[in-house]
């Protein structure tokens, strides 16, 4: 690892002290590589945070504690609450009601449809269905109220669980008002989104939902049909992309992206860009960051342990 101490590395981490007994101890103990985060490469995003999800070492940061309306990035927590509370019940069927239908991006739910929780999860994560998020929250919220022997609004109970879950993931400056991100009160920071992603993008129950850019669903009910889903997120399906979620409001020119990336050394890196200049710019920003990481942080360049060298097989339907 001493080979990493190039002149560029010294500039990034701050000048190293003259070697002596103290310096030797620091190298031996490994503390010399507990690097501080640095400014990211030039990107259009107004807020950036990039972290090693396995070690929690930060890499890049820029206005990382600035609050933003995170829009559909909200759905990462919605998905995580689902698998935490009902991960073993994803084959449960959900009868879709008028109350589940909403505006914005949809997964194509219709009143009277019968969806499984698993298919709703695909509809929410692949095509950012606001309707799928509402249906998930209503079903899981009802289950939680029943388990607690309480009455009340299933949606409010679910949102309460979202807030509790975010706090437990150290997302201290994050607030939620709904499960899909339509409310401007759904606020977070790049640092908090990275904290959430560091758990979500390592959850074995959720990783399969990002393996493929396409999925075909069989929907029951009076209008039984097959629905082909094609991911709205351009990077889904690319090698080494573990998962990703966008947040967008075209009318207000808001473009966000969070990505889970498998570094060449096999570790999971979570990168967040908030407030990019455009839809395409957020992807350009992300690719610029992922390309720069192994250069700025050579420890990410590998090699990966044998167990991590082969990515899991993609099984798409």
User: Is residue 149 domain-resident?
Assistant: yes
Could you tell me the two tokens for 310?
């082969």
Residue 17 is predicted with a pLDDT of 36
Query: Tens digits of per-residue pLDDT, 14-67?
Result: 333 333 433 333 333 333 345 789 999 999 999 999 999 999 999 999 999 999
Residue 315 belongs to a domain: no
pLDDT band of residue 306 (cuts 50, 70, 90) is low
Residue 200 clears pLDDT 70, i.e. is over it = yes
Q: How many CA atoms lie within 13 A of 34 on its CB side?
A: 7
Is 75 a residue of the active site? Answer: yes
| CATH (domain of 256) | 3.40.710.10
Confidence of residue 304 (pLDDT cuts 50, 70, 90): confident
Beta carbons of 61 and 296 less than 8 angstroms apart: no
- Residue 314 located in a structural domain: no
Among 201, 222, 209, 74, CA closest to 134: 74
**Where are the alpha helices (H) located in the chain, listed in sequence order?**
7-13, 21-29, 75-86, 117-126, 130-148, 154-168, 190-200, 279-296, 306-309
Instruction: Give the bridge partners for 17, in sequence order.
Output: none
Of 10-14, 218-222, 239-243, 297-301, the poorest mean pLDDT is in 10-14
**pLDDT confidence tier of residue 205, bands split at 50, 70 and 90:** very high
128 catalytic, yes or no? Answer: yes
Instruction: Using the predicted structure, report yes or no on whether residue 173 has a pLDDT greater than 70.
Output: yes
pLDDT (0 to 100) of residue 308: 52
Distance set, CA 212 to CA 78, 198, 203, 233 (Å): 20, 20, 16, 11
The answer to the question of residue 205 being in a domain is yes
pLDDT of residue 153: 98
Per-residue pLDDT of 125-161, as tens digits, reads 999 999 999 999 999 999 999 999 999 999 999 999 9
Residue 10 has φ and ψ, to the nearest 5°, of -65, -40
- 256 lies in some domain: yes
> Catalytic: which of 47, 62, 128, 188?
128
| Cβ contacts of 81 within 8 Å, gap of 6 or more | 140, 158, 161, 162, 165
How far apart, in whole angstroms, are the C-alpha atoms of residue 28 and residue 311? 32
Residue 112 contacts residue 87 (beta carbons within 8 Å): no
Contact 275, 247 (CB under 8 A): no
If one counts the domains in the chain, the total is: 1
> Does 25 reside within a domain?
no
Q: Which of 137, 132, 112 is nearest to 122 (CA)?
A: 132
Which of 47, 72, 198, 276 is catalytic? The answer is: 72
Q: What is the pLDDT of residue 11?
A: 33
For 308-317, write each residue's pLDDT tens digit.
545 555 555 4
The one catalytic residue in 47, 75, 231, 276 is: 75
Token pair for residue 129? 């269905």
Provide the 10 A C-beta neighbour count for residue 54: 14
Assess whether 172 carries a catalytic annotation.
no
221 belongs to a structural domain: yes
Q: Is 1 domain-assigned?
A: no
Residue 29: CB partners within 8 Å, gap ≥ 6?
Answer: none
Query: 87: pLDDT confidence band, cut at 50, 70 and 90?
Result: confident
Provide the domain limits for residue 222.
6-15+35-309
């Amino acid at each position: 690892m001493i080979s990493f101490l190039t002149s560029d590395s010294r500039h990034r981490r701050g000048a190293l002290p003259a070697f002596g007994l103290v310096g030797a101890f620091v190298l031996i103990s490994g503390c010399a590589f507990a690097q501080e985060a640095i400014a990211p490469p030039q990107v259009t995003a107004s807020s950036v945070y990039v972290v090693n999800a396995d070690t929690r070492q930060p890499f890049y940061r820029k206005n990382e504690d600035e609050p933003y309306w995170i829009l559909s990035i909200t759905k990462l927590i919605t998905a995580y609450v689902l698998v935490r509370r009902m991960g073993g019940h994803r084959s449960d069927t959900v009868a879709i009601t008028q109350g589940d239908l909403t505006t914005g991006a949809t997964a194509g739910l219709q009143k009277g449809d019968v969806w499984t929780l698993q298919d709703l999860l695909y509809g929410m994560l692949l095509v950012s269905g606001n309707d799928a998020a509402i249906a998930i929250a209503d079903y899981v919220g009802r289950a939680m109220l029943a388990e607690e022997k309480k009455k009340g609004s299933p949606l409010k109970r679910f949102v309460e669980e979202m807030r509790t879950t975010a706090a437990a993931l150290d997302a201290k400056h994050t607030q939620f008002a709904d499960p899909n991100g339509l409310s401007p009160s759904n606020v977070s920071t790049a640092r908090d989104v990275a904290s959430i992603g560091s758990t979500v993008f390592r959850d074995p129950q959720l990783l399969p939902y990002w393996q493929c850019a396409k999925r075909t669903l069989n929907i029951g009910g009076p209008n039984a049909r097959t629905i082909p889903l094609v991911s709205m997120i351009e990077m889904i399906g690319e090698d080494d992309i573990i998962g990703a979620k966008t947040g967008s409001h075209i009318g207000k020119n808001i473009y966000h992206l969070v990505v889970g990336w498998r570094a060449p050394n096999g570790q999971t890196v979570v990168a967040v860009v908030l407030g990019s200049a455009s839809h395409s710019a957020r992807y350009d920003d992300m690719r610029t960051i992922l390309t720069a990481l192994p250069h700025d942080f050579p420890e990410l360049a590998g090699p990966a342990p044998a167990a991590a060298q082969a990515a899991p097989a993609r099984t798409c339907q």
